[in-house]
């Protein structure tokens, strides 16, 4: 009897045409970098080199900041909000038109499953531009203070886990509020940002409003340190976030920081169990666990922990790990060798600390960077795998006895980005939500995002919010203009 | 070719036929007497079902695509799982004979096409269907217990059942008393199912929840567990007379129930979504869901059925398309019951 | 004729609802602001010279008080803070005298400052049950979810009180911090600390729980770095870095980055720190600087 097999259902690569090398996007043109060592970006699922990308030097960053400043003073800050909004609407529409191409490009460069880039990332990117387009001419209604207006030139540094979505989270509110932008995508995932540069050209966005410089840490530091930058927006590790906070100390540069997390996903014995299992899976295996708000600490009420683990393992057995371009794939490739090494190392630590390690034993492709969905049970609060962000498909399972203990354990971390609650009891949800020190609390759901919904952390998970009315705050000056 | 059609019914796992369901229910619930309050406590102690999460999971499963070779197999499997149904006031012997004939020869142009599992008719048509189907292996299923509303006395419902069985029905599709269920009278529903099961004798009993009237997934889950506890061989979504009929999330909830029941008791119970499943694409979505939620053991027409009338036509169309490589059309599908949909 | 010898007050710290001396045993001389032609500064009091350990104890007290204060109903916090204004009104004479001495004002101007300070306190007290509606709300997400964002207090806030505006400025920086449920450790104006202790006495005799506001007097440059680097402090208001001897606010901001404290920078432009004018009615920025936005999602289903 033939077994019920899913077809390899690869999305076609034909929709993308990746140039063999890329310059920098400054002042509306693709230009050569003035030095710097070009670097290669690879498909993490195959280790195939996709393209060569320029490394922007401090001089290139300077040119980009100047271009952004010129665009700000001469064009963008003088333009009516309504017209700024129309550019954003154009961008939103072009993203929708080129959605398939962007999804394929993202999956090739990042390693995430095509079903996620197609059904989550790219639709949200378009939604972010659409949402913020409408704000451009309505800022005075946003309760931000009197005379809301752009700040000037915004430097933005984004990570590799949601390359285009993080770009949208940064660029859309910045442009809607009248700022101009110098953005650096992550060095391992620059391609969709460069495609976005083309989209800006198709939209006839005035030159210099969006500038995209590629590079690694040094390029990012050049943006942070540039005196012509008025505001920084960063998503990435807490370590780098702290460096940025130090770099801008004593200046008038503003910053929003979206940093790491070690989110607690709390399952009570009365949870809607089948959906809770799905929520656990979504919480930590979505995007290979490369999610700052991942539910990487699973807190299960002790009286149901065996049941939850049994069901979770059964479910993980049906997860399909492999070719990200396959529409049936649930878990794709780890983004880079370096990240794979870190995950491998921390998983080793978990084992050494005595936690019980389990994975589904599924087959993995022979080339590329892969890690099986892994569950550590019997983890204690003091374990490194319960404290440190692994940023991979690894969940640490801890137990609790009472709601108060769940809260105490959930909050017992320097991070405070996300938390999940699974219970059918309404009053307990609201009580828990009040107690949890986290910027986003998902109750009976997990890893949901929306442009209208503010996102951001407490404590060392950073400051500032992205999305919604709240997200505009970081990008406006209010009150009387000072010269 | 060894297709699903040839596979005989096998009892891989014991079903509730030979057990005293009341005694077993007392045992499972840990009570000395089976009361409504004991049943209520047990059913209400089942985990809730979050509507949004459940529907999101079903939608996620809908995006799976399967291999071409698996698809050919899946189409034949789906055909073999159909309870080819006509349930109309206007049913005539001619129509029922036509339907039964169709079941025997689903596609005259492709004799290797498997037969549907059963023909499903009203009780008074059982004899007519049986005449045509004989010992072909295609079963006759009869709806009973004052289908579709279930609004009749217990005695009438049981007589309805016995009558159909006496006429040769291999399977009985009963409806639960939704009124009693919604009023919280679980014991009455339990007894009615148990008594109907007894009246079935050797016939297998499918228990229709009419999920469109139960509305919530919590109710679907509770009604499924109640049916299994009372000895139903299948849990079935709908009569086809109420909208919405079968949906993927409702079926998913039932599949979770039979999976968990199997974990608890070791017994396997079948699932039958009925109504509204019209296309091969739909059918394959259901099979994917069966595969991922309940597991491979349910990918067999002994354990999974589609209550459908027009689905067969589309499956045959797709089968032809796979055989010829060209898209086919309705004119190439012999249809003995064009009014049925 | 004989004049009565008055009974003078000992000015101590205010930590956890109590008035301890500095654990260091140190005090420092506080003199009146120079007025007229008087050449030698007029002695006012020996204020406690708080140490890093006093600051540490104050943080412990603030942390301990924070959940209870944040957990009180907004209505309750509003009433408790309004009560402070009532007590201030009752102690008006002392406040006026201390502000006169501290800031070198005429009696009439000191009266005006005290009135403004009391009114400022009332203004903020009234916000307790309003700012969450103004700053939070329902998010219309594209899906079957109830999604709401509401502000919450950041936690424990270190406040460098303004150096010049010893009462109105102090109230203007403390009230917006505590009204939302934060607790704070206030480093009082170094040279004008006495109104801060008067305010502490008002707090102690109203219904504000001990530990919600803690006041440390002493050298700003000595105490502030410990608070800026303290990992159990969630935010720091650097307003009082302006004109504080030996204080570079950039250093404090660098130290604050260690646990990513929320930093409210001092007024001014560039590296310069300028004490703002506290006379105008403020906006919500000082209140919202010490809030976190929490967003809660829940599916909507049957």
Q: Is C302 in contact with B211 (CB distance < 8 Å)?
A: no
Test C295 with A455 for CB contact under 8 angstroms: yes
* Residue among A5, A278, A328 minimizing CB distance to B57: A278
Which residues of chain C does B249 touch, with a Cβ-Cβ cutoff of 8 Å?
none
Do A45 and A152 belong to one domain?
A: yes
pLDDT digits (tens, 9 = 90+) for A365-396: 999 999 999 999 999 999 999 999 999 999 99
Q: How many CA atoms lie within 13 A of B317 on its CB side?
A: 15
How close does chain C come to A132, measured CA to CA in Å? 14
Chain B residue numbers touching C144 (CB-CB < 8 A): 51-52
For the stretch C115-149, pLDDT in tens is: 999 999 999 999 999 999 999 999 999 999 999 99
Contact between B65 and A274 using a beta-carbon 8 Å cutoff: no
Separation between Cα atoms, residue B31 and residue B40, nearest integer Å: 12
Residue B244 within any structural domain of the chain:
yes
Q: What number of H helices and E strands is found in chain A? A: 16, 20
Residue A434 is assigned to a structural domain of this protein: yes
Q: Tell me the residue range of the domain where B195 lies.
A: 50-328
Chain B residues close to C301, C-beta within 8 Å:
50-52
Q: Is position A4 within any domain? A: no
- Pairing relationship of beta strands B139-144 and B118-122 according to DSSP bridges: parallel
Of C142, C271, C292, the CB nearest to A250: C271
Contact C259 A455 (CB under 8 A): no
- Low-confidence residues of chain C, pLDDT below 70? 1
CA–CA distance, B134 with B116 (Å, rounded to integer): 14
> pLDDT tens-digit profile of C79-96?
999 999 999 999 999 999
Quote the pLDDT of residue C32. 95
Q: Give the gap in angstroms from C-alpha B217 to the nearest C-alpha of chain C.
A: 8
Total count of domains within chain B: 1
Picking from C145, C250, C294, the nearest residue to A448 by CB comes out as C145
d(CA C30, CA A302): 60
CA distance to A353, A413, B233, B296, per residue, from A429 (Å): 33, 21, 38, 37
Of the listed B76, B218, B272, B282, which one is catalytic? B272
**Cβ-Cβ contacts under 8 Å, C299 against chain B:** 50-53
Identify the chains in contact with A, defined as 3+ C-beta pairs within 8 A. Answer: B, C
> Do A140 and A24 fall within a single domain?
yes
Note whether residue B41 is domain-resident: no
SS3 A235: strand
One domain, residues A236 and A102: yes
Residue A249, domain CATH = 3.40.605.10
Same domain, A268 and A255: no
Distance CA A2, CA B73 (A): 7
The SS3 call for residue A108 is helix
* Residues of chain C positioned with their CB less than 8 A from the CB of B217: 302
Which of B130, B157, B236, B282 is catalytic? The answer is B236
B27 vs B34: CA distance, rounded Å? 9
CA-based nearest distance A404→chain C, Å: 13
Residue in chain A closest to B284 (alpha carbons) equals: A4
Residue A483 confidence (pLDDT) above 60: no
A194 contacts: CB under 8 Å, gap ≥ 6: A22, A25, A53, A185, A212, A214
Q: Which of A11, A258, A460, A473 is catalytic?
A: A258
* Angle, helix B93-104 to helix B126-133, in steps of 10 degrees: 30
d(CA C206, CA B67): 75
Residue B134 domain-assigned?
A: yes
For C300, nearest residue in chain B (alpha carbons): B52
Mark yes or no for CB contact C249/A241 under 8 Å: no
Cβ–Cβ of B52/A445 closer than 8 Å? Answer: yes
Using DSSP, state whether A339 is helix, strand or coil.
Answer: helix
Residues of the domain holding A384: 264-451
Judged by CB atoms within 8 Å, which residues 127-166 of B form the interface with A? none
Whether A432 is covered by a domain: the verdict is: yes
> Residue A309: pLDDT above 90?
yes
- A388 as an active site residue: the answer is no
Is the same domain home to A140 and A201? yes
Cβ-nearest to A7 among B49, B65, B287: B65
Locate tokens 């009869």: which residue? B142
Which chain A residues are closer than 8 Å to C254 by Cβ?
246, 249-250
User: Of residues A292, A389, A460, A466, which has the active-site annotation?
Assistant: A292
**What does residue C299 show for φ and ψ, rounded to 5 degrees?**
-65, 150
Residue B91's domain is classified under what CATH number? 3.20.20.70
Q: What end-to-end distance do the CA atoms of chain A give, in Å?
A: 79
**CATH number for position A324:** 3.40.309.10
Please state whether A236 falls in left (phi above 0), alpha (psi between -120 and 50) or beta: left
Within 10 A of C272 (CB to CB), how many other CB atoms are there?
A: 11
Chain B: closest CA distance from residue A230 (Å): 42
DSSP A57: -
- Cβ within 8 Å, pair A6-B64: yes
The length of chain C, given as a count of residues: 302
Tokens, residue C258: 């260690």
Q: Which residues of A touch B63 (CB under 8 A)?
A: 115, 119, 327
Q: Which of A245, A250, A450 sits opposite C142 (nearest CB)?
A: A450
Which residues of chain A approach chain C closer than 8 Å at the C-beta? Answer: 127, 143, 145-146, 238, 241-242, 245-246, 249-252, 257, 259, 414, 429, 433, 438-445, 448, 450, 452-456, 458-460, 462-463, 465, 468-470, 479, 482
Q: How many CB pairs under 8 A join A and C?
A: 113
In a domain, A100, yes or no: yes
Tokens of C104: 């070198």
* A292 in catalytic set: yes
Q: What is the pLDDT of residue C1?
A: 57
> What residue ranges of chain B have pLDDT lower than 70?
1-18, 337-341
In a domain, B222, yes or no: yes
Q: Which of residues 195-254 of B touch C (CB under 8 A)?
A: 215-217
Q: How far is CA A36 from CA A24, A159, A215, A363, C270, in A?
A: 12, 21, 9, 40, 32
Residue A6 within a domain: no
- Asked, for residue B143, whether it belongs to a domain, the answer is yes
A109-152 residue pLDDT tens: 999 999 999 999 999 999 999 999 999 999 999 999 899 999 99
Residues in chain C with CB shorter than 8 Å from the CB of A455 are 295
**Closest CA of chain C from B203, distance in Å:** 36
Q: How far apart are CA B311 and CA B340, in angstroms?
A: 10
If asked whether residues A286 and A218 sit together in one domain, one would say no
8-state DSSP, B129: H
Q: Which of C296, C284, C246 shows the shortest CA–CA distance to C131?
A: C284
Distance CA(B114)–CA(A219), nearest Å, equals 66
User: Do both A271 and A200 map to the same domain?
Assistant: no
| Distance (Å) from the alpha carbon of C112 to chain B's nearest alpha carbon | 60
Residue B105 counted as domain residue: yes
Task: Clarify whether residues A417 and A342 are in a common domain.
Answer: yes
Q: Is residue B207 a part of any domain in this protein?
A: yes
Question: Could you give the count of Cα atoms lying within 13 Å of A66 in the half-sphere of its Cβ?
Answer: 6
Q: Number of folded domains in chain A? A: 2
Structural domains in chain C plus CATH codes: 44-299 (3.40.605.10)
Domain shared by A376 and A426, yes or no: yes
User: CB of B52 within 8 Å of any CB in chain C?
Assistant: yes
Q: Which residues contact C272 (CB under 8 A, 6 or more apart)?
A: none
User: Which 263-302 residues of chain C touch chain A by CB within 8 A?
Assistant: 265, 269-271, 283-285, 292-299
Confidence band (pLDDT; 50, 70, 90) for A284? very high
Q: Residue A8: inside a domain, yes or no?
A: no
Residues A407 and A468 in one domain: no
- Same domain (yes/no): A276, A415: yes
Subunits with 3+ C-beta pairs closer than 8 A to C: A, B
CA-based nearest distance B218→chain C, Å: 9
The verdict on residue A334 lying in a domain is yes
Q: Is residue B22 part of a domain?
A: no
Q: Is B57 touching A (CB cutoff 8 A)?
A: yes
Which of the four pLDDT bands, split at 50, 70 and 90, describes residue A15?
Answer: confident
Question: What is the rounded distance in angstroms from the CA atom of residue C199 to the CA atom of residue C188?
Answer: 11
pLDDT above 60 for A1: no
Mean pLDDT of A58-62: 98
A446: chain B residues, CB-CB within 8 Å: none
Q: Do C297 and A259 touch (CB under 8 A)?
A: no
**One domain, residues A213 and A105:** yes
Contacts with C282 from chain A: Cβ below 8 Å: none
- The catalytically annotated residue of B173, B218, B233, B314 is B173
The pLDDT of residue B4: 40
A425: tokens are 């009891």
**Residue A82 placed within a domain:** yes
- For residue A3, the model assigns a pLDDT of 62
Tens digits of residue pLDDT in A263-280: 999 999 999 999 999 999
Mutate to test the interface with C, among B50, B51, B52 (most CBs of C within 10 A): B52
Q: Does B51 touch chain C (CB under 8 A)?
A: yes
Distance from CA of C85 to the nearest CA of A (A): 27
């Amino acid at each position: 009897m033939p077994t019920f097999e899913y077809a390899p259902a690869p999305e076609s690569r034909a929709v993308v045409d990746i140039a063999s090398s890329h310059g920098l996007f400054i002042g509306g043109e693709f230009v050569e970098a003035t030095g710097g060592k070009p670097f290669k970006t690879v498909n993490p699922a195959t280790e195939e080199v996709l393209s060569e990308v320029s490394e922007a030097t401090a001089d290139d960053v300077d040119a980009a900041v100047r271009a952004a400043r010129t665009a700000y003073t001469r064009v963008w800050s003088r333009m009516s909000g309504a017209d700024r909004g129309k550019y954003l609407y154009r961008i939103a529409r072009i993203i929708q038109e080129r959605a398939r191409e962007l999804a394929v490009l993202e999956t090739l460069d990042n390693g995430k499953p095509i079903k996620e880039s197609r059904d989550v990332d790219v639709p949200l990117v378009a939604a972010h531009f659409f949402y913020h387009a409408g704000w451009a001419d309505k800022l005075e209604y946003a309760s931000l203070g009197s005379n809301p207006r752009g700040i000037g030139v915004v430097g933005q540094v984004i990570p590799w886990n949601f390359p285009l979505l993080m770009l949208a989270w940064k660029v859309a509110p910045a442009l809607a509020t009248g700022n101009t932008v110098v953005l650096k995508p992550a060095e391992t995932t620059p391609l969709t940002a460069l495609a976005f540069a083309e989209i800006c050209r198709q939209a006839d966005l005035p030159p210099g409003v969006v500038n995209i410089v590629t590079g690694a840490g040094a390029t990012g530091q050049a943006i942070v340190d540039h005196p012509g930058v008025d505001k920084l927006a960063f998503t990435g590790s807490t370590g780098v976030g702290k460096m940025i906070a130090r770099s801008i100390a004593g200046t008038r540069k503003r910053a929003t920081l979206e940093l790491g997390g070690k989110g607690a996903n709390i399952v009570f014995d009365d949870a809607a169990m089948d959906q809770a299992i799905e929520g656990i899976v979504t919480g930590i295996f979505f995007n290979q666990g490369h999610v700052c708000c991942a539910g990487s600490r699973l807190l299960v009420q002790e009286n149901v922990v065996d049941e939850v683990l049994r069901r979770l393992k059964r479910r993980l057995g049906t997860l399909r790990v492999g070719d990200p371009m396959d529409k049936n794939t649930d878990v794709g490739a780890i983004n880079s060798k370096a990240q794979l090494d870190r995950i491998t190392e921390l998983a080793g630590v978990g084992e050494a600390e005595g936690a019980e390690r389990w994975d589904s034993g599924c087959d993995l492709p022979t080339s590329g960077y892969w890690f099986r969905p892994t569950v550590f049970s019997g983890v204690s609060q003091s374990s490194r795998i319960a404290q440190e962000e692994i940023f991979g498909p690894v969940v640490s399972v801890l137990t609790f006895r009472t709601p108060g203990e769940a809260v105490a354990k959930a909050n017992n971390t320097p991070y405070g980005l996300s938390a999940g609650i699974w219970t059918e009891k309404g009053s307990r949800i609201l009580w828990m939500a009040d107690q949890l020190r986290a910027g986003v609390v998902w109750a009976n759901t997990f890893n949901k995002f929306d442009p209208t919904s503010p996102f951001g952390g407490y404590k060392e998970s950073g400051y500032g919010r992205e999305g919604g009315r709240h997200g505009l705050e970081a990008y406006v000056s209010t009150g009387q203009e000072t010269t | 070719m060894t297709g699903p059609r040839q596979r005989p019914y096998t009892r891989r796992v014991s079903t509730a036929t030979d057990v005293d369901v009341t005694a077993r229910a007392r045992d499972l619930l840990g009570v000395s007497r089976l009361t409504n309050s004991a049943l209520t406590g047990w059913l209400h102690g089942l985990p809730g079902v979050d509507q949004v999460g459940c529907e999101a999971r079903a939608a996620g499963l809908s995006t799976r695509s399967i291999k071409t070779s698996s698809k050919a197999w899946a189409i034949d499997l789906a055909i073999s799982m159909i309870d080819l149904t006509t349930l109309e006031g206007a049913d005539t012997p001619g129509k029922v004979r036509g339907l039964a004939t169709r079941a025997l020869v689903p596609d005259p142009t492709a004799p290797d096409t498997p037969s549907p599992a059963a023909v499903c008719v009203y009780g008074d048509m059982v004899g007519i269907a049986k005449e045509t189907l004989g010992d072909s292996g295609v079963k006759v299923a009869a709806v009973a217990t004052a289908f579709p509303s279930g609004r009749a006395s217990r005695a009438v419902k049981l007589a309805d059942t016995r009558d159909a069985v006496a006429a040769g029905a291999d399977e009985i599709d009963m409806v639960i008393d939704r009124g009693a269920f919604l009023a919280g009278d679980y014991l009455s529903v339990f007894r009615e199912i148990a008594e109907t099961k007894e009246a079935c004798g050797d016939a297998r009993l499918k228990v229709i929840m009419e999920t469109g009237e139960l509305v919530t997934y919590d109710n679907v889950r509770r009604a499924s567990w109640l049916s299994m506890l009372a000895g139903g061989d299948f849990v079935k979504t709908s009569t086809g007379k109420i909208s919405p009929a079968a949906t993927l999330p409702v079926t998913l909830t039932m599949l979770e129930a039979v999976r968990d029941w199997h974990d608890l008791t070791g017994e396997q119970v079948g699932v039958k979504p009925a109504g509204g499943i019209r296309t091969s694409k739909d059918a394959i979505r259901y099979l994917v869901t069966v595969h991922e939620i309940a597991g491979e053991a349910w990918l067999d027409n002994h354990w999974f059925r589609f209550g459908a009338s027009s689905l067969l036509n589309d499956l045959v169309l797709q089968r032809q398309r796979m055989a010829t490589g060209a898209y086919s059309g309705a004119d190439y599908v012999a249809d003995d019951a064009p009014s049925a949909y | 004729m004989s004049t009565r010898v008055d009974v003078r007050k000992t000015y101590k710290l205010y930590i956890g609802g109590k008035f301890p001396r500095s654990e260091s045993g140190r005090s420092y001389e506080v003199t009146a602001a120079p007025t007229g032609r008087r050449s030698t500064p007029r002695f006012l009091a020996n204020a406690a010279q708080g140490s890093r350990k006093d600051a540490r104890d104050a943080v412990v007290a603030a942390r301990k008080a924070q959940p209870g204060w944040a957990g009180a109903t907004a209505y309750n916090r509003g009433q408790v803070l309004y009560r402070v204004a009532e007590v201030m009104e009752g102690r008006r004479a002392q406040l006026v005298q201390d502000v006169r001495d501290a800031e070198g004002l005429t009696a009439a101007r000191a009266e005006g400052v005290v009135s403004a300070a009391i009114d400022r306190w009332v203004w903020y007290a009234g916000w307790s049950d309003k700012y969450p509606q103004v700053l939070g709300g329902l998010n219309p997400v594209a899906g079957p979810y109830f999604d709401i964002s509401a502000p919450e207090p950041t936690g424990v806030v270190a406040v460098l009180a303004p150096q010049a505006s010893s009462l109105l400025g102090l109230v203007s920086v403390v009230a917006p911090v505590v009204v939302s449920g934060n607790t704070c450790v206030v480093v009082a104006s170094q040279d004008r600390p006495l109104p801060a202790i008067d305010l502490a006495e008002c707090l102690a005799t109203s219904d504000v729980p001990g530990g919600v506001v803690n006041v440390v007097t002493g050298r700003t440059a000595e105490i502030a770095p410990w608070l800026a680097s303290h990992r159990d402090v969630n935010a720091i208001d650097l307003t009082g870095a302006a004109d504080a001897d030996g204080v570079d606010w950039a250093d404090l901001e660098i130290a604050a980055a260690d646990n990513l404290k929320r930093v409210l920078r001092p007024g001014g432009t560039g590296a310069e720190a300028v004490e703002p004018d506290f006379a105008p009615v403020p906006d919500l920025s000082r209140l919202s600087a010490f809030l976190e936005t929490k967003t809660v999602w829940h599916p909507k289903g049957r």
